[in-house]
């Protein structure tokens, strides 16, 4: 969507309907055309003296229209409040209203394709066990999407993943703790609306991405970050390639091998913030890097290197801080030989001289800066 991911001043914007999918689009002042972030169609703008000044509402209407129908639909918030059919969450999804902890775990193997991964479902199983046993997440508050599921609403298709992300944040209140774990493929796409520092959007690949397309970070931010109200906390643990800023959070933490750290503000144009809550992402690598599906870390069992290193760091030091967690994850991946997997003295040499820009390096992003060596890691 042209214009980005938060409300503009009412007097400065109008909306128009996408000629391709029917979504409502925010039109920047003076624009003669606008590109839809959902279907990529370009719609010519008919200039009017008075527009409808509701950019945020238009955006969420666009999300729902792409999920359920190519025709214009009511906003998802209205549908959920009034029980409308548009974008209704599947009845088989866990009922979590009033529960303080919930999690969405997605593992995609892409079975039968040239993109097949062997460790993604293992990652989800391990993460589910960790959340239940270490952090007290009730089993009936965890929604799992994998290609092993028998329920068609729990297959990790593009439509189901969109609905599941909405399920994760629907009806949250102060004190709620949310976890979004994704293990699969990630890609970069050319940024169309000028809100990326490096010129590329990051995206998640559903199981049907070859037919239906990917889910851009713009949409992920709008769906699971911006709705977070005061006192609500989200942790996203993303084990994919090109995942450094996959939630489009405004702050990226740079950490050197010597422990020096600082937050970088990656906001460009409009802010990408919550509605008063806290969002933190721990991702498998930088935006320009790739993540590994490997047996090198856990023996004969295939896992994502990032997921394995995350679980190992949490289990090795209960009550750790975010800084120590990230440092331990990076050390696990680096000491295993990284993506080279070279044993012995030669492997040691490579690990010493290789730059972080070449190796897989887990990243930390947040909706607000904090002291990473003082703030305890809690889910």
The three-point CA angle 172-215-125 to 5° equals 65
CA distances from 169 to 24, 45, 77, 142, 235 (A): 22, 33, 11, 13, 12
d(CA 176, CA 232): 5
Query: Closest Cα to residue 19, out of 5, 31, 34, 4?
Result: 34
Instruction: Calculate the CA dihedral of residues 273, 279, 284, 285 and round it to 10 degrees.
Output: 30
CA distances from 121 to 26, 110, 125, 172 (A): 38, 10, 6, 27
Written as six digits, the tokens of 360 are 């897989």
d(CA 251, CA 232): 18
CB 103 within 8 A of CB 143: yes
Written as six digits, the tokens of 219 are 């949409």
Known catalytic residue: 126?
no
CB 38 within 8 A of CB 66: yes
The catalytically annotated residue of 185, 235, 242, 266 is 185
The catalytically annotated residue of 18, 241, 253, 285 is 241
Adjacent-strand bridge partners of 107: 146, 183
CB 228 within 8 A of CB 169: yes
Known catalytic residue: 185?
yes
Point out the residues that are catalytic.
185, 241
């Amino acid at each position: 969507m042209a214009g980005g991911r938060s409300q503009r001043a009412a007097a400065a914007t109008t909306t128009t309907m996408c000629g391709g999918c029917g979504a409502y689009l925010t039109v920047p002042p003076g624009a003669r055309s606008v590109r839809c972030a959902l279907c990529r169609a370009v719609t010519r703008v008919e200039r009017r003296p008075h527009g409808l000044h509701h950019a945020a509402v238009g955006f969420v209407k666009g999300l729902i229209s792409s999920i359920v129908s190519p025709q214009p639909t009511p906003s998802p918030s209205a549908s959920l409040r009034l029980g409308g059919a548009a974008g209704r969450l599947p009845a088989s999804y866990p009922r979590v209203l009033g529960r303080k902890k919930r999690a969405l775990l997605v593992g995609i193997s892409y079975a039968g394709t040239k993109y097949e991964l062997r460790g993604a479902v293992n990652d989800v199983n391990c993460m589910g066990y960790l959340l239940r046993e270490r952090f007290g997440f009730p089993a009936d508050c965890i929604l799992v999407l994998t290609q092993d599921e028998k329920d068609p609403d729990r297959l990790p298709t593009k439509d189901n993943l969109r609905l599941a992300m909405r399920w994760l944040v629907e009806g949250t209140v102060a004190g709620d703790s949310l976890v979004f774990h994704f293990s699969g493929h990630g890609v970069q796409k050319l940024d169309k609306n000028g809100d990326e520092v490096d010129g590329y959007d990051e995206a998640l690949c559903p199981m049907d991405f070859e037919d239906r397309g990917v889910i851009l970070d713009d949409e992920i931010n709008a769906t699971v970050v911006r709705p977070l109200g005061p006192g609500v906390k989200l942790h996203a643990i993303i084990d994919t390639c090109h995942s450094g800023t996959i939630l489009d959070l405004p702050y990226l933490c740079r950490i050197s091998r010597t422990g020096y750290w600082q937050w970088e503000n990656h906001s460009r144009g409009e802010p990408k913030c919550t509605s008063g809550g806290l969002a933190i992402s721990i991702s498998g690598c930088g935006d320009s890097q790739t993540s590994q599906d490997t047996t090198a870390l856990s023996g004969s069992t295939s896992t994502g290197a990032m997921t394995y290193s995350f679980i190992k760091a949490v289990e090795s030091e209960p009550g750790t801080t975010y800084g120590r967690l990230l440092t331990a994850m990076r050390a696990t991946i680096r000491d295993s030989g990284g993506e080279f997997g070279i044993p012995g003295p030669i492997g040691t040499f490579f690990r010493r001289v290789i730059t972080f820009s070449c190796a897989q390096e887990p990243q930390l992003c947040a909706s607000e800066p904090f002291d990473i060596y003082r703030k305890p890691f809690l889910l």
